[in-house]
Amino acid sequence: VRTYPDTVFPAWVEDAAAAVRWARDHAAALGGDPARVFVVGHSSGAHTAVLLTRDPRYLRAAGVPTGPDGAVRGAVGLAGPVDTTWTDPDVQALMGPRAGWPATYPATFADTADPPLLLLHGAADRTVRASNAVDFAARVRARGGCARAVVYRGVRHVELVGPLVVPALGNREVLRAVAAFVADPVATACPDAGRQCRVLRRRPRQ
């Protein structure tokens, strides 16, 4: 994957799309279902995962089918800056010329209905505010899409991704939430399409 300062947006999103294409092409050989691919990312990776599913140009360019019958069935974002504006000079440089910034914001594509989103965040996150998850899920739901935000009380930025790296670290509710979403993304993310996204403010059980 290309990284800054050797490259700027959207190089790493294109690389992520290529990785999704590889996963789809090799899923069957690895015991998976090429028609049921999920993308999961933490922090900047969450931003990339959500952008991949909101702006279909990247997956299409990589040869991955999109839309209701697309290969990617859902995206999970953990502690991602998915509803923000770039204020840090380093991040602004990373995102390239200011005129192109709208394309870097998932909110620009909040009206994209597919696929469902699960946005997990820690209420004690001081790196990326939890309002990113709550506000973006609300944007998507208001436009008829399928998205759910879950905020865990007392959980910080890195703590949220810990159980996905080393399950023994705890935070089992995060693992259960991701597993439930993969099993049935629509039922998990929007069991009632007419209801605003529900936010669970609790600390995961150990």
Exposure b/e, 141-164, CB count within 10 A at least 16 = b:
beeebbbbbbbbeebebebbbbbb
Q: Is 204 exposed, middle or buried (0-12, 13-18, 19+ CB in 10 A)?
A: buried
Q: Minimal CA–CA distance to 132: which of 146, 143, 113, 147?
A: 147
Chain segment 116-139, per-residue pLDDT in tens: 999 999 999 999 999 999 999 999
| CB 94, CB 38: distance < 8 Å | no
Q: What is the pLDDT of residue 3?
A: 80
User: Cα angle vertex 73, ends 167, 22, to 5°?
Assistant: 80
Beta bridge partners of residue 40, listed in sequence order:
76
Q: Minimal CA–CA distance to 39: which of 62, 21, 61?
A: 21
In angstroms, the CA 188 to CA 117 distance is: 9
> Quick count: other Cβ atoms within 10 Å of Cβ 100?
12
Q: Which residues contact 188 (CB under 8 A, 6 or more apart)?
A: 116, 118, 148, 177, 180, 181
Full-model pTM: 0.90
Q: What is the pLDDT of residue 138?
A: 94
Chain segment 84-96, per-residue pLDDT in tens: 999 999 999 999 9
64-68, 106-110, 172-176, 195-199, range with the lowest pLDDT: 195-199
Residue 170: which pLDDT band, with cuts at 50, 70 and 90?
low
